[in-house]
Amino acid sequence: MGAYTTIAPVVSKIFCSSSQAVLMVRRRPPTVNGGGFVVTDQDQRAVFSVDGCGIIGASGQLIVRDDDGNAILFIHKKGGVVQALCVNNWWRGYLTDYGEPSKLVFSLQDPKPFLCMKGDVQVTVEPKGRNRHWDYEVTGSFVQRSCAIKNRAGQVAAQIGVKGMMAGRASTRWWCNQVMTRPL
């Protein structure tokens, strides 16, 4: 038997599962609500969605919504001159309160692709504790749809892989990822 580990949820316990779950991630075309992603469970029920990945909406801003369409997270790409000179892209995730960003819950550090050919994405859950540099690391390639999300101890929290093309479409605009989450 493995050791029992307690890890605080990043957003809320209502979005956690005590058992392994398989979720499907589907990309929406940019003309539908500005693009984005829809995440469904095995019964094809929407669990949450991500808006702001398409042509509608501000660049570098994403909104994560629950199954009822309520905003739960606002994710913003840090900008400015300092960001332009950095070797990493920085993203910040905030809980939303009445549709507005309120409390910082995580930071994400993503190596810029033209400067670093191989680099893992590192996620830090806020507030930072003593001597903690990152809490989760995304290894592999999200672009190639083959990656894993691991905690600091190296335990896999989620595995992402290609499930298949939707409805036999050959276009790369219609794809589906399978995400297998595991309780830690």
Q: How far apart are CA 55 and CA 57, in angstroms?
A: 6
pLDDT in tens, 135-145: 888 888 776 77
Distances (CA, A) of 154 to 136, 149, 151, 179: 9, 9, 5, 18
The pLDDT assigned to 168 comes to: 43
- N-term to C-term CA, the chain: 13
**Identity of residue 31:** T
DSSP per residue over 79-97, as a string? -SHHHHHSSEEEEEEEEEE
CATH topology of domain 21-181: Porin (2.40.160)
How far apart are alpha carbons 46 and 67 in whole angstroms?
A: 6
CB-count burial class (<10 Å; 0-12, 13-18, 19+) for 83? middle
The pLDDT tens digits for 11-61 are 777 777 777 888 888 887 766 556 788 888 888 899 888 887 655 556 678
Residue 93 pLDDT more than 70? yes
Q: How many CB atoms lie within 10 A of CB 66?
A: 17
**85 in Cβ contact with 101 (< 8 Å):** no
Residue 137 pLDDT = 84
DSSP 50-61: EE-SSSSS-TTE
Percent of the chain with pLDDT over 90: 1
Q: Which residues, in sequence order, are CB contacts of 51 under 8 Å at separation 6+?
A: 33, 34, 35, 36, 57, 62, 63, 65
* pLDDT tens, position by position, 48-89: 888 876 555 566 788 889 889 889 889 888 776 655 566 677
pTM over 0.85: no
Across the range 94-108, mean pLDDT stands at 84
The answer to whether residues 108 and 122 touch, using CB atoms and an 8 Å cutoff, is: yes
- Average pLDDT over the chain, rounded to an integer: 73
